Amino acid sequence: LERLTLARRIDIDRALDLAATFLADGSRHACARNFYFGNECIRFAGQSPELLAEGNTRCFHTHKLSGTYRRVDDLPLAELTRRFQADARIRAEHHSSTAAIETSLQMLGDVDVTRFQVMELPGLLHGWSQFTTRPRQPGSTAACLRAVFPYGMQ
């Protein structure tokens, strides 16, 4: 298995140009992805600001976005970023969503964490943490995916 894309289906009430969706600007940062798949039975395309996992069973990176502020025109970005980083509610939300993933990944092996960076997107700020996991023994793709998506975690 070289590449796996997991996506959530969102039903809409009109036709979309899937090629245009794939080619759209979308998010521009290190863990954003546009994706497209098509065969004789199904076609889908999408954009995600959050690449959930990349790598292989010997070493992979997991990205978690959690905690969001809307950007506002009347506040300089530096001040908004400072407030975002200091917001106890945002930090608690981010910690609660990353703690389960970190614990799950540690069951596989060694985990390095870059915690609570601020990702600037058009119109939004997100809290972002990155995990690099090196399993003690190369495992299956399924075991790695179970660690990235621990039970009960969204």
Quick: pLDDT tens for 64-83: 888 888 888 788 989 999 99
What are the pLDDT digits (tens) for 32-43?
A: 666 666 778 776
- The residue written with tokens 């076609």 in the block is 43
Contacts of 144 (CB under 8 A, 6+ apart): 53, 57, 60, 108, 133, 135
**pLDDT of res. 124:** 84
Specify the higher pLDDT residue, 23 or 135: 135
Q: What is the pTM of this model?
A: 0.69
Beta bridge partners of 120: 125
97 φ, ψ (degrees, to nearest 5): -80, -25
Instruction: Compute the distance between CA of residue 139 and CA of residue 53 in angstroms, rounded to an integer.
Output: 15
117-151 pLDDT, tens digit per residue, is 998 877 888 888 999 999 998 778 888 888 887 76
Residue 123 exposed, middle or buried by CB count within 10 Å (0-12, 13-18, 19+): exposed
How many CB atoms within 10 Å of residue 33?
Answer: 15
Q: State mean pLDDT over 29-58.
A: 70
Whether residue 22 is predicted with pLDDT greater than 70 in this model: the reply is no
The pLDDT tens digits of the residues spanning 90-107 come to 999 889 888 888 999 999
